[in-house]
Homo-oligomer: A and B are copies of this chain.
Amino acid sequence: MSLTNATPLEVAQAARVGSRRLAVLSTPERNAALTAIHGALVSAKDEVLAANKKDLEDADKAAAGGALSQSLVKRLDLGKPGKYEDMLQGILDVRDLEDPINKVTARTLLDDNLTLSRVTCPIGVLLIIFEARPEVIANISALAIKSGNAAILKGGRESSHSFAAIASVISKALTSTAVPSDCLQLVQTHDVIADLLKQDTYIDLCIPRGGNKLVRYVKDSTSIPVLGHADGICTTYLCADYPADKATKIIVDAKVSYPAGCNALEQLLVDEAALTTTLPVIAEALLQKGVSLRCDPTSLAALQGKLDPHSATLLQPASETDFDTEFLDLILAIKAVPSLDEAITHINTHASHHTDAILTLNAPTANAFLAAIDSSSVYWNTSTRMADGQRYGFGTEVGISTNKIHSRGPVGLEGLTIYKWTIVGDAQVSADYGAGGKQWKHQVLPVLDDEFVAQNEEEREVLRMFRAT
């Protein structure tokens, strides 16, 4: 990891060269690097927190002047009880996950002594652009090394001291490992993003971690594939048959437990038959939590006069744009829908293909919803807030993707891999087969759950000698 004044082109080229060497390291070699990073960050806690304090002081001043939000200041703070330890534990958690590369995922006998295999491998070079949250450096470094990918990290201005301190610690730690230091490139120079986004010859995948503005800018500015999501407009469709107590529990969790999250609920669609039965119960609970309800005329009419007058000001008519907005706040748009079909069409048209849920006791209705909704996560009788790599059991995530290719939903280590096809043969050639020639066997061979291509010691020695230039 380097903090030099290298140009974006040099940074990207160095990462590419490093990536070729990282890709052929063994599982123990990559895991040992994570152990080393963990150990170094344990030892350097005081040093890192001192740097973080400088960022916090700068941020406090900026917040006092109105230039930064208090929630951003909070996200910067690595000194909160348990936060540094969580970051450290995250590195070990990633280390202890199954190796995502060199895994055989398919095998076909094309002919006698002619075997096709599909083997997972790293993507190559990742560009991660993020805003606050200095602990992301450690997370992403761990994920990148574990999956055999080089990473270029571009941090935000607000966390620059923390970023430099953590980077320096990781950099020193890597020198004692088999991982080439060029595999992690730290970029902190200002105004360098545009040039990094042009390095499509050397960078394979870009992952922006930040707000809607950052993601849109990145998507519009590069021909490098971008993994992530711009908007998190999540919806829930409430059917009339679903019990009010369960519905209330789910809706309150989805809206209130972390309104700034991309998986927070932004729209509630209500079956017309539930407008005067279940909806008032849910609405009352939301109003008591301080949630503003922006209702279409039908749902507004159903609720008016039915709620505690103290919270009446929070009951508001919705504007058209409310059904295309990610509020990230204690605001919920509510719309009455006459049928499942209209709910599906509304969601496929107005939601952001992130996470959508249906609440019903009717299996045919629910299964039709699960089939027809075109989103990365679709739920039946649970909260949209479940959309999270840790909750899905991935250990950690690099983000949530609403892309339609490669990786969709919470993206864990598997999303940082691709595969290559290998054939091992004995001088069979294409012209041997086809009209008048030999027939393909195309026999699908069984693959074990944990089948890996692992080099023996002699092969590892050959690979150790390999130095890509």
Contacts and interface: CB of A to CB of B under 8 A. Distances in A.
A463 interface: yes
A444 to B, nearest CB: 8
A231 to B, nearest CB: 13
Contact of A422 (B349, B377, B388): B377
B345 A469 contact: yes
Contact of A123 (B223, B405, B420): B405
A205 interface: yes
Interface stretch (A108-116, A134-142, A310-318, A323-331): A108-116
Interface string A234-255: 0000000000001001100110
Contact of A463 (B368, B391, B466): B368
B205 A391 contact: no
Contacts of A340: 462, 466
Interface majority SS (helix, strand, loop, mixed), chain A: mixed
Given A405-B225, A430-B386, A341 B108 contact: no
Contacts of A249: 427, 429
A371 interface: yes
A217 interface: no
Contact of A423 (B223, B380, B425): B380
A435 to B, nearest CB: 9
Contacts of A257: 429-431
State the number of copies, please: 2
Contact of A406 (B110, B250, B366, B406): B406
B421 A382 contact: no
Contacts of A424: 366, 379-382
A407 B349 CA distance: 27
A374 interface: yes
A340 B466 CA distance: 8
B429 A385 contact: yes
Contacts of A385: 429-431
Interface stretch (A45-53, A275-283, A300-308, A452-460): A452-460
B116 A393 contact: yes
Contacts of A344: 466, 468
A365 interface: yes
Contacts of A377: 420-423
3 nearest A-B pairs in the assembled complex, by CB-CB distance: A382-B425, A253-B429, A246-B427
Given A345-B467, A378-B422, 19 more contacts: A20-B372, A102-B371, A124-B374, A219-B223, A349-B469, A363-B459, A364-B456, A367-B453, A367-B462, A371-B459, A376-B421, A379-B422, A380-B424, A383-B430, A385-B431, A386-B423, A391-B433, A405-B405, A408-B421
